[in-house]
């Protein structure tokens, strides 16, 4: 059987495409997902995120040794489940800064992708619990709500930021990004609002939409310069499914370049080196990888102020019972509900550091839990200059890709990351947190010099799981897709996911990826773009005070 559109990958953008394209009853849409269904209750419980980073529903990949971080190999969790990253992430709904998208248009050649042009697509997806203004809307597929289980230490953290000179911000996605405050979350009725639940569950009975899981695409079938279908690996055999109109690649910033390369679309020298026949020499595929690297402070608490002790069996059972019966208690927490955006570089055009307050000490994989209750403050540098790659290890589609974010290749990234860590440490030392925080345990009070902090970062840094850019959109020689997301030089083939972003937004990337899916669907359907946003009040990001004033 053939379909009009075949979508490879049911991540955030793939779910959006499947929904929007199948709105036309005359169009037959096939959505393929290599992973399984989101039947496990952990996918829907907000606190289930803590299990997800430890390997549930992921590919089990890791980076190549990072040569600028003493050859450290980092765990690199990438989702293998319907809904993709939106089914296993911490549910933070952030969009980045207006400057991010304006730079896409002004410096990366992506006309029509500036902030005023993409904001209507952010708004179209939203069903916002609280906000309805120039920046927000309600009635869309994606549930967006405020945290429902904030602990007293969250308010103390916000006061601590203000004591350091960082203003309170009630809406990081509104007029101003800079500040500290509560994140909005992709939740509805205290359940995760993944792309699968938001965009697929409501339309599961559409007769013109077919969703196949456990269907790993091994290559795109290209005939006479046109993508005509996909090949699916079924054990020792293969199956070819044909697309009458287009193949839409939405496998994420790692999976999408991997699939193009497996199909012979990419840098010819690399393809030849791993024994893949060259179908189309396109040198930008797998280049331009960007990601946010995270450094963190972990402090021991003066008492049971976070969720660490919920890990004890009797408390875990009670927390589960509370959630099932009453939709209350620790399980309703995403564990990262407060944070903020500020400046490591006083000359930055927009905030360049993001904070996440973690309500525990061993929440994510690879981070040790303290004996007593602890609290974590993550800091990530948002404007990395370093660029990495995604490459094939061999011509075997089942082989893990070579993921090289190339962290700290540019010394500026290292300097700003360490500066962000210093600000995070200062926040944790403010008077407002004294009743809650006993002492810093990591990096520890003896770690103070630049070299010591570098060593600490090399040993402990982790990814924020925000890879983008590996099939970048643009007009230069390294662009993989044009401004309509069409792969250059191949007919009937587009890429639509985080891999097309020319540079990483200053935020968690789930929200921006859903926006790309929304705008991409209109482009594919040849619809007029939504009218550009008109503001009642202009955005006004707070500038940092002089460093002497905030320290």
Predicted confidence (pLDDT) at residue 546 exceeds the cutoff of 60: no
Residue with more model confidence, 372 or 394? 394
Q: How many Å separate Cα 135 from the centre of its chain? A: 20
pLDDT band at 331 (very low <50, low <70, confident <90, very high): confident
SS3 (DSSP) at 152: helix
Using CA atoms, how far residue 23 sits from 5, 176, 473, in Å, is 13, 35, 26
pLDDT band with cut points at 50, 70 and 90 for residue 234: confident
Give CA angle at 99 (135, 376), nearest 5°. Answer: 80
Q: Other CB atoms closer than 10 Å to residue 188's CB: what's the count? A: 17
Distance between CA 348 and CA 415 in Å, rounded?
Answer: 14
The residue-averaged pLDDT of 75-89 equals 94
User: What average pLDDT does the chain have?
Assistant: 93
Q: Which residues contact 487 (CB under 8 A, 6 or more apart)?
A: 227, 249, 260, 265, 282, 471, 480, 481, 493, 494, 495
Residue 422: CB atoms within 10 A of its CB come to 17
Question: The dihedral of CA 254, 255, 258, 260: what is its sign?
Answer: negative
Instruction: Give the CB-side neighbour count of residue 8, counting CA atoms within 13 A.
Output: 31
What mean pLDDT is predicted for residues 137-157? 96
Q: Burial of 494 by CB count in 10 Å (0-12 exposed, 13-18 middle, 19+ buried)? A: buried
Question: Is residue 296 pLDDT above 70, yes or no?
Answer: yes
CA dihedral over 45, 513, 98, 342, signed as positive or negative: positive
Q: What is the DSSP string of 156-222?
A: HHHHHHHHTTPPB-S-TTTT---EEEEPEESEETTEE--HIIIIIGGGTT-TTEEEE-S--EEEEEE
pLDDT in tens, 512-533: 999 999 999 999 999 999 999 9
pLDDT tens column, 19-48: 999 999 999 999 999 999 998 888 888 877
pLDDT the model gives residue 543:
66
Say whether pLDDT at 537 is over 80.
no
What is the DSSP secondary structure assignment for residue 200, as one 8-state letter? Answer: I
Q: 216-220, 411-415, 486-490, 547-551 — which is least confidently predicted?
A: 547-551
User: From the centroid of its chain, how far is CA 522?
Assistant: 22
Contact 43, 194 (CB under 8 A): yes
Q: Which has the closest alpha carbon to 547: 293, 347, 296?
A: 347
Q: Does the structure show a pLDDT above 50 at 547?
A: no
Task: Find, among 509, 532, 259, the residue nearest to 392 by Cα.
Answer: 259
User: Domain residues of the chain, as ranges?
Assistant: 148-182+293-383+408-460
Q: What percent of the chain has pLDDT over 90?
A: 84
Q: Is the pLDDT of residue 438 over 50?
A: yes
pLDDT in tens, 447-459: 999 999 999 999 9
For 329, left (φ over 0), alpha (ψ -120 to 50), or beta? left
> For residues 444 and 478, what is the distance between their CA atoms, to the nearest angstrom?
43
Between 309 and 301, name the one with better pLDDT: 301
Torsion (CA) 355, 43, 460, 388 in degrees, nearest 10 = -80
Tell whether the model's pLDDT for residue 542 goes beyond 70.
no
Secondary structure (3-state) at 431: helix
Give the pLDDT band of residue 548 (cuts 50, 70, 90).
very low
Interstrand relation of 493-495 and 184-185 (parallel, antiparallel or unpaired)? unpaired
Peptide bond into 283 cis (omega under 30): no
Q: Does residue 148 register a pLDDT over 70?
A: yes
Residue 383: closest CA among 428, 417, 332: 417
Q: What is the pLDDT of residue 365?
A: 66
Can you name the CATH fold of 148-182+293-383+408-460?
A: Cholesterol Oxidase; domain 2 (3.30.410)
Contacts of 48 (CB under 8 A, 6+ apart): 41, 42, 192, 331
Average pLDDT over residues 133-157: 96
Centre a 10 Å sphere on the Cβ of residue 44 and count the other Cβ atoms it contains.
17
* pLDDT value at residue 204: 94
What average pLDDT does this structure show over 359-370? Answer: 78
Residues classed as catalytic: 466
Q: Is the model's pTM score more than 0.85? A: yes
Q: Residue 366 pLDDT more than 70?
A: no
Count Cβ atoms within 10 A of the Cβ of residue 71 and give its class: 0-12 exposed, 13-18 middle, 19 or more buried.
exposed
Does 549 score more than 90 pLDDT? Answer: no
- Alpha-carbon span 307 to 322, nearest angstrom: 15
**CA-based max dimension of the chain:** 69
* Predicted pLDDT of residue 534: 87
Q: Does residue 382 surpass a pLDDT of 90?
A: yes
Q: How far is CA 357 from the centre of its chain?
A: 17
Nearest to 392 by CA among 499, 495, 498, 285: 285
- Average confidence (pLDDT) over 280-306: 97
Q: Residues 308-330: what's their mean pLDDT? A: 73
Q: Indicate the pLDDT class of residue 50, thresholds 50, 70 and 90.
A: low
Confidence label for 305 from pLDDT (cuts 50, 70 and 90): very high
């Amino acid at each position: 059987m053939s379909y009009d559109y075949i979508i490879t990958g049911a991540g955030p953008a793939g779910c959006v495409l499947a929904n929007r394209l199948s709105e036309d009853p005359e169009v037959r849409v096939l959505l393929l997902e290599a992973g399984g269904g989101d039947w496990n209750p952990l996918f829907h419980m907000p606190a289930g995120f803590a299990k997800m980073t430890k390997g549930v529903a992921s590919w089990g990949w890791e980076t190549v040794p990072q040569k600028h971080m003493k050859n450290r190999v980092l765990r690199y969790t990438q989702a293998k489940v319907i809904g993709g990253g939106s089914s296993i992430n911490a549910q933070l709904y952030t969009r980045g800064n207006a400057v991010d998208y304006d730079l896409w248009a002004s410096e990366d050649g992506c006309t029509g992708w500036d902030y005023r042009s993409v904001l209507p697509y952010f708004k179209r997806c939203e069903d916002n619990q609280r906000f309805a203004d120039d920046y927000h809307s309600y009635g869309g597929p994606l549930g967006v709500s405020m945290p429902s289980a904030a602990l007293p230490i969250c308010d103390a953290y916000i006061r601590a930021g203000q004591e350091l000179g960082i203003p309170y911000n009630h809406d990081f996605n509104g007029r101003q990004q800079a500040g500290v405050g509560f994140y909005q979350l992709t939740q509805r009725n205290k359940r995760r609002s993944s792309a699968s639940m938001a965009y697929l569950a409501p339309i599961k009975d559409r007769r013109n939409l077919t969703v196949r899981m456990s269907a790993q695409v091994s290559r795109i079938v290209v005939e006479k310069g046109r993508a005509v279908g996909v090949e699916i690996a079924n054990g020792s055999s293969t199956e070819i499914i044909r697309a009458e109109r287009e193949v839409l690649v939405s496998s994420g910033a790692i999976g999408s370049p991997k699939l193009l390369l497996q199909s012979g679309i990419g840098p010819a020298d690399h393809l030849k080196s791993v024994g893949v026949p060259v179908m189309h020499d396109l040198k930008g595929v797998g280049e331009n990888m960007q990601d946010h690297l995270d450094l963190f402070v972990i402090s021991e608490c003066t008492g049971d102020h976070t969720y660490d002790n919920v890990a004890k069996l009797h408390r875990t059972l009670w927390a589960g019972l509370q959630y099932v019966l009453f939709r209350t208690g620790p399980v309703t927490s995403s564990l990262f509900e407060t944070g903020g955006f500020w400046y490591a570089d006083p000359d930055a055009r927009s905030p360049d550091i993001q904070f996440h307050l973690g309500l525990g000490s061993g929440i994510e994989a690879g981070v040790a839990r303290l004996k007593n209750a602890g609290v974590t403050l993550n800091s990530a540098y948002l404007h990395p200059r370093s660029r990495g790659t995604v490459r094939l290890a061999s011509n075997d589609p089942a082989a893990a890709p070579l993921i090289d974010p190339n962290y700290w290749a540019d010394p500026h990234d290292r300097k700003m990351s360490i500066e962000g860590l210093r600000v995070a440490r200062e926040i944790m030392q403010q008077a407002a947190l004294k009743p809650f925080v006993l002492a810093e345990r990591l990096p520890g009070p003896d770690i103070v010099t630049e070299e010591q902090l570098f060593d600490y970062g090399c040993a402990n840094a982790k990814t924020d799981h925000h890879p983008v850019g590996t099939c970048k959109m643009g007009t230069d020689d390294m662009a993989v897709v044009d401004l309509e997301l069409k792969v250059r030089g191949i007919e009937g083939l587009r890429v639509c996911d985080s891999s097309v972003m020319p540079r990483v937004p200053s935020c968690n990337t789930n929200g921006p990826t859903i926006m790309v899916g929304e705008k991409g669907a209109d482009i594919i359907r040849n619809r007029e773009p939504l009218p550009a946003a008109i503001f009642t009040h202009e955005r006004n990001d707070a500038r940092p005070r002089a460093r002497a004033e905030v320290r």
